[in-house]
Amino acid sequence: MKETAAGFIAKSTIKAGDKEHRRKINFNINRYNAAVPLGKKQFSNVMLARERAKNVKWRAIETLDQQLEEFERTITARGAKVIWALDTGEALAAIGKICDEKACKTVVKSKSMVTEEIHLNQFLEKRGIESVETDLGEYIQQLDGEPPYHIITPAMHKNKEDIARLFADKLGVPQGLTPEELTKVARQNLRDKFVQAEIGVTGANFIVADVGGIALTENEGNARLSCAWPKTHIVIVGLEKVIPSMQDLALFWPLLSTYGTGQKVTVYNSLVTGPRQPGETDGPEEMYVILLDNGRTNLLQAPTREALYCIRCGACLNACPVYKNIGGHAYETTYSGPIGKVITPHLRGMKEYKHLSYASSLCGNCTEVCPVRINLHELLMENRHEAVVTGESSLSERIAWKMWRQASLNRKMMNLANGNIKNKVVNTIFKGWKQHRDELHFSQKTFNEMWAEKKKSL
C-alpha cells in the first residue's frame, strides 16, 4: 500500500511541476474541447441520449449473466469459441495455448486497454512471440517502451517533434519528418506485419448480445486488418462491455465517437459475428472470444457497480483537473483519470489503491461530461467510505477525524477554538495535511460568533 501510494505521490509531484508536460497535454485536450461541441450537434437532445444510454447499460449490467449467455449461444453457433477467464492468469494461459497450437511467431494487435490490463505484450515476448501494436498511438508508445498514456489517445503527452526524434532513433529514418511522413513510415512497417502474423488480437468496444457479435470502432482500419488478415482472431474483452441489442449501436457508436474524439462517428465501425463462414472470401478461419472477469464481479456487488456502465470514451480524463496536471502515467495503473480511480481499487485491491480515490477535487466535472451519466465523484466518495469501514485508513487519520467530528458537533468548542488554535492543530499537530497542500487559515471568528455580534448591534 505504502509503495503504490508513494509512487503515485512522487510521480504526480514531478509531473505537476513539469510545465512543458502540462503544456503538451493541455494543448491536445483543448483541441478535444473544441471538437466535442461540434459532435454534440448531431443530437437533437444530447441529455436524453445520455439518459437512454445509461438506462440501456443499467439493463445490461442488471441482467449480465443472461446477456453474456445469449451472446455465447449465438456466436458459438457461428463457429466461434468462447473462453471464460476469471483472472489475468487464466486469460494468458488460454492465449498461450492458442499460440502454441498455431505455432505462432507474430501477433498483430489493435488498441485494447484490456490487453494492457493483463500485460499481454510482455507475456508474448517472454514466449518468444513478436507482438506488434498496430494503432499508431500504441505503436509510438511501444517503440518508446511506455504504456498508454490515455484511454483514447495513447501518446497524448508527445508532440510531433518528440515522435520524429523517436522514429529517427528507433527506426533509422531521417530526422525532422512531418506527421504525414511519420504516418507513412509506420504504415509501411505495419503492413508487412499484418501479412506475416498468424494471430490477430483485438479488444471490443461492445459485446452485442442478441446477434452474438463484437463491435469495434476505430479511425485507422488497423482493427479490421488485425481480425481479417491472420488466420486466427482472438478477442479479449471485459464482461461489462455487453449491450443487449444491435439496435443499441445506433445510440452508443455516436456517443462514443462524440465524447471520445468529437467526431459524429468514427471512420470504421465493424460488427464481427464469428469466423469466416462457408461461401465467404475473407476473414479468419478461427475466432476465440475471451470474456475476462479480473475483478469486475467485485464491482458488480459493490455500491460502485455503476462504474461498469463505462464505455471507455476518456471524456472524464480530459475534464479532470488532476489528470490535466499530472497526466496518465503518474497513476501507475492501466486505467487512469476519474474512472480509473473508481475501478482500480476493486480490480486490483482497495488496500493497495485506495489512495487514488483521494486524488480528486470532487468538483464533479467528470460526472458532468460522462456520456452515460455515471456519478463518478459520488463513487469516489463511496470508495473512500469503503476504505475507512474496512479498516484501510491509518490510526492517526481515524483519530484526527474523530476529534474533528466531536468538535464540530459542539458549538461552544468550535467557538472556543478560534482561528489561531484551529490553524495550529491542522497545520502543526496533523502534519500530514501540509505535505502536499498549503497551510489552512481559519477565520478568527466563526459565523455563529459573527451572527451573534450582528444581532446584538441591531
Between these two residues, 458 and 251, which has the higher pLDDT value?
251
Co-location of 380 and 418 in the same domain: no
| β-pair partners for 288 | 81, 234
pLDDT surpasses 70 at 1:
no
- Determine how many CB atoms are found less than 10 A away from the CB of residue 66: 13
Co-location of 450 and 410 in the same domain: yes
Phi-psi region at 255: left, alpha or beta (left = phi > 0; alpha = psi -120 to 50): alpha
As a whole number of Å, the CA-based R_g of the chain is 25
Cell of 413: 468548542
Q: Which segment of 191-205, 263-277, 393-407 scores lowest on mean pLDDT?
A: 393-407
Neighbouring residues of 137: CB distance < 8 A, sequence distance ≥ 6: 111, 148, 153, 154, 155
Domain with 147 in it = 49-294
Are 26 and 374 in contact, with CB atoms under 8 Å apart?
no
Q: What is the pLDDT of residue 337?
A: 96
Instruction: Tell me how many helices (H) and strands (E) the chain has.
Output: 24, 10
Co-location of 240 and 361 in the same domain: no
pLDDT surpasses 80 at 108:
yes
Integer Cα distance of 98 and 280 in angstroms: 24
Q: What's the CATH code of the domain at 54?
A: 3.40.50.10420
Give the residue from 393, 415, 446 where a domain finishes. Answer: 393
Q: Is residue 242 part of a domain?
A: yes
Q: What is the pLDDT of residue 396?
A: 76
By DSSP bridging, strand 206-208 and strand 242-243 are parallel
Co-location of 58 and 17 in the same domain: no
Q: What is each CA distance from 74 to 20, 36, 71, 203, 222, in whole angstroms?
A: 51, 36, 5, 19, 26
Q: Tell me the pLDDT tens digit for each residue of 238-269.
A: 999 999 999 999 999 999 999 999 999 999 99
Report, as an integer, the average pLDDT of 398-419.
Answer: 80
Report, as an integer, the average pLDDT of 281-307.
Answer: 95
Neighbouring residues of 344: CB distance < 8 A, sequence distance ≥ 6: 331, 333, 334, 335, 353, 356
Q: Is residue 353 part of a domain?
A: yes
pLDDT surpasses 90 at 345:
yes
Q: What is the pLDDT of residue 2?
A: 61
Q: Is residue 333 part of a domain?
A: yes
Give the residue from 393, 414, 443 where a domain finishes. Answer: 393
Co-location of 271 and 375 in the same domain: no
Residue 146, classified by CB atoms within 10 Å of its CB into exposed (0-12), middle (13-18) or buried (19+), is middle
Cell of 146: 511506455
Q: Is residue 300 part of a domain?
A: no
Q: Is residue 287 part of a domain?
A: yes
Q: Is residue 303 part of a domain?
A: no
Q: What is the pLDDT of residue 407?
A: 80
Are 272 and 28 in contact, with CB atoms under 8 Å apart?
no
Co-location of 148 and 11 in the same domain: no
Between these two residues, 94 and 455, which has the higher pLDDT value?
94
Co-location of 428 and 349 in the same domain: no
Give the residue from 339, 359, 393 where a domain finishes. Answer: 393
Co-location of 373 and 440 in the same domain: no
Integer Cα distance of 87 and 297 in angstroms: 11
Q: Tell me the pLDDT tens digit for each residue of 118-140.
A: 999 999 999 999 999 999 999 99
Phi-psi region at 314: left, alpha or beta (left = phi > 0; alpha = psi -120 to 50): left
Tell me the pLDDT band of 181, cut-offs 50, 70 and 90.
very high
Co-location of 35 and 68 in the same domain: no
Number of domains in the chain: 3
Co-location of 164 and 29 in the same domain: no
Co-location of 88 and 18 in the same domain: no
Report, as an integer, the average pLDDT of 438-453.
Answer: 84
Average pLDDT across the chain, whole number:
93
Cell of 347: 480490480
Residue ranges in 172-266 assigned as alpha helix (H): 179-196, 222-228, 249-261
For the beta sheet containing 232-238, the strands, ordered from the edge strand earlier in sequence to the opposite edge, are 81-85, 286-292, 232-238, 199-202, 106-109, 130-133
Q: Is residue 306 part of a domain?
A: no
Q: Tell me the pLDDT tens digit for each residue of 20-48.
A: 999 999 999 999 999 999 999 999 999 99
Scored b (16 or more CB within 10 A) or e, 96-127 reads bebbeebebebbbbbbbebbbbbebbebbeee
Q: Is residue 304 part of a domain?
A: no
Tell me the pLDDT band of 401, cut-offs 50, 70 and 90.
confident
Co-location of 248 and 364 in the same domain: no
Q: Tell me the pLDDT tens digit for each residue of 138-175.
A: 999 999 999 999 999 999 999 999 999 999 999 999 99
Is pTM beyond 0.75? Reply is yes
Integer Cα distance of 333 and 323 in angstroms: 13
Integer Cα distance of 330 and 7 in angstroms: 8
Q: Tell me the pLDDT tens digit for each residue of 51-79.
A: 999 999 999 999 999 999 999 999 999 99
pLDDT surpasses 80 at 49:
yes
Q: What is the pLDDT of residue 402?
A: 85
